[in-house]
Structure 1
Amino acid sequence: MERPARIIAAPCAALLLALAGCAGVPLAQPAAVGEPISLDTLKEVTQTLAADTFEGRAPGTPGEDKTLAYLVERFAAAGLQPGNNGSWFQDVPLVEITAEDLGALNVYGPAADLLFAAGSDWIGVTYREQESISLHDSELVFVGYGVVAPEKGWDDYAGIDMHGKTAVILVNDPDWRSETDAGPFGGRAMTYYGRWTYKFEEAARQGAAAALIVHDDYPAGYGWNVVERSWTGPQSHTRKENGGEAQTLVNGWIDHRAAEAIAGAVGTNLAGLAAQAEQAGFRPVPLGLKVSTAFDNSLRYIDSKNVVGILPGSERPGEYVIHTAHWDHLGHCPANDAGDDICNGAIDNALGSAALVALAEAQAKTGPAPRSMVFLALTAEEQGLLGSEYYAAHPIYPLDHTVGGLNIDGGAMTGPARDVDVIGLGKSELDKVLARNLAKLGLAASADSAPQAGYYYRSDHFSFARRGVPMFNIKSGQDLVDGGREAGAAWNADYRANRYHAPDDEYDPAWDWRNVQRQFDLFYLLGRDLATSRDWPNWVPGDEFRRIRDESCAASGGC
């Protein structure tokens, strides 16, 4: 679970009113859910997967073997069928690449000879499965925000051949300075084009030898210390064809001060370059400098697995609704004061895996829906959404025949809430599905209170969304019936400070399950609705994922 829990609801606006009222305003009494989620199942599966005997469920460890066996047992007992041509598993080949002896970044030319230290000034990795990396005499090109968005008429790489060159890229979107959500890229609301994942991918598509993102605290949403911590040490990836030869040789970050020094060396400044990049019609700026660096890698190969179950549809079995949750956690980690070094991941995400089992159980008891329902327990989310990325790149069920779906990642063990926290509200026609089911449970929708952080792009549903499949990302409500938002904030702050990604995220018999049980009752209704309807929800016009959905549907006729 990558994103911090957020606790402040957006103001009541027309869209939220359409979704059954502002958060904090009690709605009608809840209607009965067709097949209630079993609290006993939620408790039993969560407690089992969070036990010390599962050793924190890290991929490639004995904890994975135990987790897979248990999930298959529970999926079968819930009434699912094996979902991959008679198998419960999809193989997910991973590689762990650890950069060693990362060299300085040398930037040089007629006007400069600059040396930037590894760690404090720059951080670099590779996605290529190579034991030795050498970037030599690569021309530096400033490519603005590194965005190619045909639907917006925007191309930061227009008119340049990047082969052999190094792209210098600004973080976030071209209109991130806006104080509103209005602008070609959603204003202050980050789109996928603002995420580092996209920027590195696009640089590779352009043929660049390397890509360096300029870090700046505010538009990035975190400090340089986060970059230094997250981008050093072992980095896991899905294994790619030909060992990742199509990837850039080096992907990295440079500190804002280093970028200023580079700009100053060629007689300009970073603010001036950024101002150019924020204008439509921007063109790349060759900097007249070259860059070199080198480092070694150690490689470790891991064979991990997704677990796949299916409830075949009764009328349209070739149309699919997907339910996802990641089964993995961190394994062993730094010990707490009591000497416990197992990161059990009870809430993150034994709970989500338990909800996946409970939802399958409830849907199976209700009986087949017209469309098929897929239940996918994913590996390696904590390493960067790797299990979901692998499935979405190698789908068992065609994505242009996948109607949509929902992702489950953690929850708040509090008393009942008046709302659910909807990340990505306003992006797709799934809002209509949400609106007609919220009132059945007496719930309201709270919109994303920090759209500039791009939280929609940081959990497993995103691997499907980026390929055009509309996906729900709904979190536990924060407006608690007893104590309101202040109480919700206190619970989340305590969890983040004391248990998140730490040994104390353990099963607690004293948990109050009422909030998450209601959240998962909503998930049951949403899944059943999507699997019963004849609708094919799309992204709203102008959304960054609309084009790929339209193209895939047009090519196959599947949606």
Structure 2
Amino acid sequence: MPVSASFAAPAVPPVDEALLRETIRTLSSDAFEGREPGTAAEPKTLDAIIARFKAAGLKPGNKGPEGKPSWLQDVPTATITGGNRSPLVITGDALTLSFKPSSEFVAGSYRITPHSEVKDSELVFVGYGISAPELGWNDYAGIDMKGKTAVILVNDPDYAMATEEGLFRGRRMTYYGRWTYKFEEAARQGATAALIVHDTFPSAYGWQVVESSWSGAQHFVQSANNGADQTVANGWVQKSVAEAILKAAGKDLAALTAAAGQKGFKPVALGLKASLSFDNTIEKANSHNVIGILPGKSRPNEFVLYSAHWDHLGHCKPDATGDGICNGAIDNATGIAALVAMAKMNRAAGPAARSQVFLAVTLEESGLLGSEYYAQNPVFPLAKTVGGVNIDALYTGGSVKDVTVTGGDKSELTAILRKAEGAMGLAEAPEEGPEKGFYYRSDHFSFAKRGVPMLDLKRGTDLIVGGKAAGQAITNDYENLHYHQPSDEYQESWDVSGMKQDVTLFYRIGRELANGTTWPNWHPGDEFRAIRDKSLAEAAGK
């Protein structure tokens, strides 16, 4: 349905600055030890969030044992740490190549199993590993991948463009360019294994990032089948390794890459086989999401969603002063404080037509696991979830003139956002680094990939007092000196007027959704449009 042309703009309740500050101050204090899930800090954190949700007027959003109201949703997780890793061995006619783990390739498994082994699996070059029916693109056309290993290019076909005009939005990365999608699609195609070719420019990070990320523990949501529907192994190879493998197959990586960038590309069997193995140490644990709700007065079975993650890193590497607690004041005590403040504002404004869900998720820092689990096991049906806003890290500093939309204009939510911006006198600034795919790296993505339109907004840098130079200085200071460091601590001297502006913007968007009748969809051609169309059709048919 099209978004309403008019923007309801009743009086907006004020943001309670004292509540905002108190929530951030409390959750980021040393008493909460950095809010690491699964530690003694978790129950204390959950109790603090629940107390503030209650005080703001929310009701428990879940049901516990015997159907009793509950604030919590269990999030069962598995942590897999690989070890005893073999080389990657490539064989062919009178040919054997061997590549060292860590320095030349990395691999892990999404399967919860003590041992992972790929033996003599046929290698197939599948270009960018994309199946996008809405774009008429299928890199797996005409091949049965059962038992085979996919060799996949990173990013998507038009990443090198200077503009966003390409089939895959040009320079802006789409979901199809994310490495997580490529492994998921290889599994859907029935592949035994998947190997992504690392290249620094389209990856947007060097090999050292891949190596360090895949050498330690990997965190997953537990599934009923222990990941049996996933590939046996997922991994990355250095570009030079891929070049050597393709040369042994009589192929050229550069030539195949050029071919893979054209519609109609067909997968290329390489006539080589891959073998690798590793052991897995498995630990299972349980964390919790916190769910509160303001029931709607006339359409209570339609839901607007606000999300923010409560977790942070806990104890970390001490700084020069000996402080070893990563308190996570900005990241993301500010997000939880915004949820609490918005709940109070909505309570003051009275019941909206639709229900509003306030979701504080766990394990964002471990790979969006809390939001992923909720999206897999929604308390409120995703087909009945209208859309929403995710809140992650609100910076300090004064009010601004502009807002940045992570991911750009992807859905009809943008129209509602722009009406709210207009009511607040805000401009829209272009996103920095669209090629880095930031839209796919925070909790809203867990809902978006299942069809629910979600906004992820960042305050711009053009401050009303001080302009862009002052705004950029605040951003640089946090990202370079405090992000994931013990110094991310609450300060009484903070100017939170910009945070209050953020909360007001989120409130206006959510309130319009909650009082409206429209069901925003993704724009035609967006990677999430098809699944939203399907869910809306199914919901309408019930």
Q: Give the alignment's TM-score, normalised by structure 1.
A: 0.93
Shift of 1:439: 2.2
Give the unaligned 5+ runs of structure 2: 64-68
> Aligned match of 2:235 in 247, 252, 256?
252
Superposition deviation, residue 276 in structure 1 = 1.4
Indicate yes or no: 2:274 matched with 1:296.
no
Within-5 A mapping of 1:337-416: 337-416=320-399
Moved more, 96-105 or 165-174: 96-105
SS at match of 1:518: helix
SS, match of residue 203 in structure 1: helix
Deviation at 1:177, TM superposition (A): 2.1
User: Would the aligned equivalents of 1:420 and 1:519 in 2 still touch at CA under 8 Å?
Assistant: no
Q: For residues 5-154 of structure 1, what are the structure 2 equivalents within 5 Å? A: 34-85=12-63, 86-110=69-93, 112-154=95-137
1:442 correspondence with 2:425: yes
2:221 maps to a residue whose letter is T
1:156-190 deviations in Å (ceiling 9; x for gaps): 11111111111110011112122221121111111
Checking the alignment, whether the CA contact within 8 Å between 2:407 and 2:437 is kept in structure 1 is: no
The superposition leaves residues 118-174 of structure 1 with CA deviations (integer Å, 9 ceiling, x where unpaired) of: 111111111111111111111111111010111111111111111111111001111
RMSD: 1.6
Q: Who is 2:515 aligned against?
A: 532
Question: Counterparts of 1:415 and 1:381 in 2: how far apart (Å)?
Answer: 27
**Quick one: which of 292, 299, 310 aligns to 1:327?**
310
Q: Please name the residue that 1:5 is paired with.
A: none
Alpha carbons 1:306, 1:379 under 8 Å: kept: yes
The separation in 2 between residues aligned to 1:519 and 1:447, in whole angstroms, is: 17
Q: Secondary structure at the match of 2:432?
A: coil
1:184 to 161, 167, 177: 167
Q: Deviations over 1:32-91 (max 9, x none)?
A: 951111111111111111011111111111111111111111111110010013111111
Contact map agreement 1:111 1:265 (CA 8 A) in 2: no
- Structure 2 counterpart of 1:479: 462
Q: Offset of 1:273 from its aligned partner?
A: 0.9
Distance 1:280 1:128 in 2: 33
CA distance, structure 2, for counterparts of residue 553 and residue 32 of structure 1: 29
Number of the residue aligned with 2:66:
none
Contact 1:401 1:558 (8 Å CA) reproduced: no
Counterpart for residue 457 of structure 1: 440
| Identical columns (%) | 55
CA deviation profile, 1:244-299 (whole Å, cap 9, x unmatched): 11111111111111111111111221111111111111111111111111111111
Measured in 1, the distance between the counterparts of 2:270 and 2:185 equals: 20
1:467 & 1:111 partners in 2: Cα distance? 47
Query: How many angstroms apart in 2 are the aligned matches of 1:373 and 1:229?
Result: 40
For the residue of structure 1 that corresponds to 2:524, the secondary structure is coil
1:15-41 residue CA offsets vs partner (Å, 9 max, x unmatched): xxx9x9xxxxxxxxxx99511111111
TM-score by length of 2: 0.96
Q: How far 1:449 sits from its partner (Å)?
A: 2.7
Q: Which runs of 4+ in 1 moved over 4 A?
A: none
* Structure 1 residue runs without a partner (length 5+): 1-17, 21-30
- For residue 331 of structure 1, report the CA deviation from its aligned partner: 1.1
AA in 1 matched with 2:527: E
The number of equivalent residue pairs is 531
Q: Is the 8 A contact 1:144 1:169 kept in 2?
A: yes
Greater shift in the superposed pair: 489-498 or 465-474: 489-498
Select the structure with the greater relative contact order (CA < 8 A; seq sep ≥ 6). 1
Q: Does 1:169 align with 2:152?
A: yes
Superposed displacement of residue 423, structure 1 = 1.3
* C-alpha distance in structure 1 between counterparts of 2:163 and 2:293, whole Å: 43
SS across alignment from 1:547? helix
Asked whether the 8 Å contact 1:111–1:266 carries over to 2, the reply is no
Over residues 83-126 of structure 1, what are the superposed CA-to-partner deviations in whole Å (9 max), with x where a residue is unaligned? Answer: 01311111110011111122221112116321111111111111
Q: Which residue of 2 aligns with 1:518?
A: 501
Q: Aligned partner of 2:263: which letter?
A: A
Contact 1:93 1:304 in 2 (8 A): yes
Matched residue SS, 1:243: coil
